[in-house]
Structure 1
C-alpha cells in the first residue's frame, strides 16, 4: 500500500474512533440504553478501576508496546493515574503518571480549548474569517480565502484536502513555507466536505495567536496550560525533549519493537505538536466535563467551549436505516457510541512512535485518557474502550485488543504491486535520462542524481535524499519514512523526444503531484 495512503487511513481509522464510535455496531452485552449519570454505581466504578492493571497488562502482552500511561476522571475527580512499562527500551526508567508523551493529534481538542478561551473573552468568534488575521493564508478559490472561518478550519470543512502540507513538513518546510504553498492546492467543496487537515487547523491556531499578539506556543501556556495547572504540558518539541521524565517513541519493524527515529512536529503544533502527561490531561478532561471550570475557577466560557463539542460536519454518513452518522465538532469527534451515549473522543498517531486517545462520556461525567510510546497499532484505543465498558456496563462488550488489532493490521501490509517489480518489467533507461531538477510551486525544486549506479531523489529545502528503486519502465519506488520500511510509493518520469525527463509524477497530493523537469 502506498505509504501516503497508509497515513490517511490511519487518520480515518484511529483518529476517527472507527470502532468504539460506530453507531449501530453490534453489542454482545445487549441493547444500549443510556441511563442517567447517577445510574452507574460507585461500586461498579471502583471495580472497573481495580481491573485497569489487568486490562493494561493484557494489552501490553498482546502488542508488546513498551510503555503506557492511563488517567481516568469521574464525577469531577481524577480517580486514577498510573504508568506501566518503560520510557525507553533497554533502560529501566519506568513510565509514571508524570511521564511526558508526545500526544500527536490529541493536540487538536487540547488546542481548540485554548481557542475557546479566547472566543469566550471576545477576542474573535468561531465564525469570524481567518484571512484578516493571517493574510498569507490564500486558497486556490478566492471565495474560500475571504470566507473561511476558525470553525471551518477546526472542523476540517474548509475543502482543503487532508494530505496538504504533510509531505512538505516531512521534507523540512516550516509552518510559514507550508502556508505559502496552500494556494496551489485544488480544493474540495467548501463546507460540504470533511477532510482531516493538519495544516488547515494549524492555520487557525496561528491566526488565533496573531489575534492575541503572541505565538501559538505561548498562547497555549497563557490560555490553558497555566490557568489549568497543566505544569508538564507544552506546544514546543524542544520542551518535550528537555524533559528528563520523557517517553521515547518506538516503532515495530518485523514484529519487534525498536527506538523510533523521533518526530519534531513544531510545524503543525496546533494540530499535533503538544506534549503532556496523564496527570495534566486528566485536569483538562475535568475542565471539559465541567463546562470550562476547574477547581471552582472559570477558565473557558461555557458557551465557547460547548461549540467545540457540537457537531459541525458529517464525518461518516449512516450505513443503513438503523444507524446514524458520525460527526466532527471543533477538534473533537462527536458521536453516539455503541453504548448509546454521546461520546467526545480523539486519538493521536505518529508512525514514528506515539499513539494516544481520550474518550469522554459527558452524560456520565466520565473521561479516560491513554498515552503510549509505540507506533499506532490500536493499543491505546483498546485500553480506553475496555475501561469505558468496564465502568458503564461492568465488563467489556467485546475483545477490544483483538478488534483494534484486526482493524489496524491491514494498513501496514506492504502493497504487493510495489513490493517487487512486475514479472514483465520494462527496463529503465540510462540513468542520465532522469538526472536533473524537477520543480513546481508547491514542492519547490527536487534534484535527481545518479550515485553509485542508483537514482537518488533529493527533496525539500535541505535536499533530503531518497534512493529510488527501479520498478518498471520509467517508474521507480521510494521509501519515504524509515519507520515504514515496507511501505513504498511510486514515482514516474515522463520522457521527452530528446530522451530526457520532462516531468516527474510523485503521487500523493492531487493537483500538485507533477513536477516539471529540466536537465
Structure 2
C-alpha cells in the first residue's frame, strides 16, 4: 500500500523539479532547499542553487538557513511540553509566573496569559524597531515593553507581535530554569535528532554547511548582506535549520506529537496548537484562501477546501515557509537565502496543489503582479513625499544644535551626530543618515529595510531643541525621544561639586546627590525637586519650566553661590 502511495506521489510531483528551478531563476534566488513529507515519509528532497555565490558552494539537504519566524512554532511547542508536565497553564495570567511583568495597558497586564502571548492579541502592534539590532538582554526588553503604546484593546484585534513571542521565551526560562535556547535544544532538537540545527547565527557559522544571506535591490541586483545576529528576540525567530532536520519536525507534528515511538508532545497539545485561537482580518484577495485565523504558532486557513497550517519566516537575507495539511498527512518545507522573496509560498502551494490532485493555482503570476504593484506603490510614495516637502526652508537652529542624545523609556536612546557635515542617527546598532526635509524635519534612511522615517525636532520655551518625534511604529503616535544632557554633565564626579548648604536670605537651601546620581534641591517651604543638567553649571527642575539654578564658580574652581530662578523672581544663595 505504501509503495502504491509513493508511486502516486511521485507521479503528481513529476515536473516539479523543472518548475522549482525556473521559479528560483526568475526570482534571482541564490539557493533553495525543499522537503516534502507524506504519510510519515520524506517523498521529495531537493537542494537547488548555491549557498555561497562567490565560492560557488552548492546547497545541500543539510545546509543551514535562518528560518526566522518559522521558529515561533518551536516556542509554542516548548510551552506545550511545560503544559504537559503541569508546569504551565495556558490561560493563567503571566504575572502568576512573572510578578514584575507589566504592559502599558492595566487590563492586559493583569490578564494576559501564555495563550495570549502567542496568538497575537495583546493589543500591541509590532514595535519591531525596539528590538531590531538591539544589544539589550531579553529581560531588559521585556521590562521596556511597559512603555509601549498599544493600538487596540486587549484581545480585541489580531496584530502580529514578535516581542510577545520573546516574552513567551522568557516565560519558559522563568518556569523551567533553562534559557529558551537550552530548553528547545534539550527538549525538542535532541529527541528529534535535529543535530544540525542551531539557535544562534554564530553557532550556525561554525557548521561546514551554512547559507549566506542575500538581498535583492530595487534594480534587481542581488548581493550578499550581513547576518542578523542580535537575537534576544530569538523565541520569535532565532532558529537556523535544514530541510533534513525540519522534515523530522514536520513529521512529528503530522504524527500528533509522536516521533519514532516516543510521544514528545501530547496529542491533545498538538491539537491545541493547530486549533484557531484568534480570528484574523478577512481577505478576499484570492478565492483559494478563506477563513484566516491564528493558532499557537501557526497560521490556519481554508485552502481550496482543505485545512492548511503554515508559518513563514523572513529575516535579513532569508525567507522560509513550513506548511502542514494535517488531514492529508502532508508537510512541505521550503528554505531560501534571499531577503523577502515569494519563492517559498509559490513552491509550497504548487506542491500542495499537485498532491491534492488540483490544477495549479497561478501563484507565480500573482506574485509577479504583486511585486509590480508594490514597486509602483513605492514610486508613488516617494513622489508624494517630494510633493509634500515645503521647498526652500531651513532648520530653525544651526545644524549642530540638533546633535545629542535623546531617550524614550521603551525604545531607548537615539543619538544624532555630525560627521563630515552629514547628520547621522545612531540607534541600537544602526547608522541612519539624516537629511534635511523641511523646517525642523529630517529624513532618516534605513537602507536595510528600504525604509525612511521623518524625524521632527521640537524646541522648548528657552529655544533649545529638546525632543524629536519619529514614526518608528506607524499604528500609534510618533515615538517621542526627549533630549538628555551631555554625558559629561551626568557624571557623578561633576555633580558632587554642587552638593552642600546654601544661604538664601537667612533660610537654608540644600543640594543633595541621591545614590543613583540624581541631584536634588530643597528650597524653603517646597518639596524636593530633581535637578536636570541643562548646560555647564546650569540646571532645570524636572517637569517645572519656571525653575532654574545656575552655580557660580570662582577663579579657583570652587562653587561659591547659586542663582535661583523661580516664577517671577531671581535670587542668589551663597554657599555656606
TM-score normalised over the length of structure 1:
0.85
What is the correspondence of 1:20-419 to structure 2 with a 5 Å cutoff? 42-163=6-127, 165-187=128-150, 188-253=152-217, 254-317=219-282, 325-337=291-303, 339-350=304-315, 352-398=316-362, 400-408=363-371, 410-411=373-374, 413=378, 415-416=381-382, 417-418=384-385
Aligned residues: 472
Secondary structure of 2:168's match?
Answer: helix
Structure number with higher relative contact order (C-alpha < 8 Å, ≥ 6 residues apart): 1
The whole-number CA distance in structure 2 between the counterparts of 1:50 and 1:265 is 42
Q: 1:473 to 1:171 in 2, by over 3 A?
A: farther
Partners of 2:130 and 2:410 within 8 A in 1: no
Q: Deviations over 1:61-110 (max 9, x none)?
A: 21110000000000111112221101111112110111111000111113
Q: C-alpha distance in 1, partners of 2:387/2:420?
A: 21
For 2:445, the equivalent position in structure 1 comes to 479
Give the secondary-structure state (helix, strand or coil) at the position aligned to 2:46: strand
Within 1, Cα distance between the matches of 2:114 and 2:432?
A: 37
- Tell me what 1:426 maps to: 393
From 416, 424, 443, give the equivalent of 2:411.
443
The whole-number CA distance in structure 2 between the counterparts of 1:476 and 1:260 is 27
**1:418·1:488 contact (CA, 8 Å) conserved in 2?**
no
User: Does the CA-based 8 Å contact 1:266-1:273 persist in structure 2?
Assistant: yes
Checking the alignment, whether the CA contact within 8 Å between 1:251 and 1:353 is kept in structure 2 is yes
Q: CA deviation at 1:41?
A: 6.2
Can you list the C-alpha shifts for 1:141-167, whole angstroms capped at 9, x where unaligned? Answer: 23322221111011011212222x543
> CA 1:327 to 1:177, structure 2 compared with 1: closer, same or farther past 3 Å?
same
Q: What secondary structure, in the 3-state scheme, does the structure 2 residue paired with 1:490 have?
A: strand
Structure 1 residue 425, shift from structure 2 partner: 4.7
Distance 1:406-1:134 versus aligned 2 partners, 3 A rule? farther
Give the distance between the partners of 2:136 and 2:374, measured in 1 at CA. Answer: 27
Q: Which has the larger radius of gyration?
A: 2
> 2:135, 2:230 within 8 Å by CA — same for their partners in 1?
no
Per-residue CA distance 1:400-433 (angstroms, 9 max, x = gap): 2221233345446353144798362522342033
Q: In the aligned structure 1, how far is the partner of 2:87 from the partner of 2:139?
A: 23
Unaligned runs of 5+ in 1: 1-37
Unaligned runs of 5+ in 2: 486-576
For 1:239 and 1:411, the matched residues in 2 are separated by 36
Distance change >3 Å, CA 71–CA 266, structure 1 → 2 = same
Higher strand share: 2
- CA 307–408 in structure 1, closer or farther in 2 if over 3 Å, else same: farther
Q: Distance in 1 between matches of 2:392 and 2:294?
A: 45
1:319 CA displacement: 5.2
Asked whether the equivalents of residues 471 and 477 of structure 2 are also in contact (C-alpha less than 8 Å), the reply is: no
Q: For 2:131 and 2:119, how far apart are their aligned partners in 1?
A: 22
Asked if structure 2 preserves the Cα contact closer than 8 Å seen for 1:208 and 1:216, the reply is yes
Q: Confirm or deny: 8 A CA contact 1:355 1:372 kept in the other structure.
A: yes
Counterpart contact for 1:433–1:499, Cα < 8 Å = no
